[in-house]
Amino acid sequence: MSWINDPINSPKHYTDAHPGMECIDLTADTSFCLGNCIKYLWRYKAKSRPVEDLEKARWYLCRAIDRGETIAWTRLQRGILKKLALPPTGATYTTAIWIYLYQGDLDTVLDSLDQLIEHERNQQ
């Protein structure tokens, strides 16, 4: 079965964001809050409401921090995060977020996410 352009099994806002990688491979073994944070970060550029998706990511990240959640990445997840942390040209806000997620530093992820939200607001 082909999942190309399949809105149920492989929606474009997930598959187009980071070709060759699946969001679910990164989120499947995380907590609910961290997984949702990653989901909104993953797709924020692919939908028509980037600031809204980033604010949702922030909300879930704050919940994860408030709950004292820790991260134990699997080998697959570490590989995905390493790929996400390699921007095509120069460092970006999202690159920093993926790097700090890889390191498990949620407080610094929050700082970087706030910077990205501000940047996206200024783009509107």
* pLDDT tens column, 84-95: 988 665 568 899
From residue 91, give the alpha-carbon distance in Å to each of 9, 95, 99, 123.
31, 6, 11, 18
Domain membership flag for residue 4: no
CB 109 within 8 A of CB 61: yes
Q: How many CA atoms lie within 13 A of 20 on its CB side?
A: 5
Domain membership flag for residue 30: yes
Tokens of 63: 């919940």
Helix (H, G, I), strand (E, B) or coil at 46: coil
What pLDDT was estimated at residue 91? 61
Task: Say yes or no to pLDDT of 69 above 50.
Answer: yes
Closest CA to 39 of 7, 92, 47: 47
Instruction: Quickly state the pLDDT bin for 19 (edges 50, 70, 90).
Output: low
Q: Across residues 29-50, what is the average pLDDT?
A: 93
Q: Across residues 57-73, what is the average pLDDT?
A: 96
Cα–Cα distance for residue pair 79/44, rounded to 1 Å = 21
Cα–Cα distance for residue pair 71/15, rounded to 1 Å = 24
Task: Say yes or no to pLDDT of 39 above 90.
Answer: yes
Q: How many domains does the chain have?
A: 1
What's the pTM? 0.85
Task: Say yes or no to pLDDT of 14 above 70.
Answer: no
Domain membership flag for residue 18: yes
Domain membership flag for residue 1: no
Instruction: Please name the residues in contact with 50: beta carbons below 8 A apart, sequence gap of 6 or more.
Output: 44, 120, 123
Q: Across residues 45-54, what is the average pLDDT?
A: 91
77 lies in which domain range?
12-123
Helix (H, G, I), strand (E, B) or coil at 95: helix
**Per-chain mean pLDDT for the chain:** 87
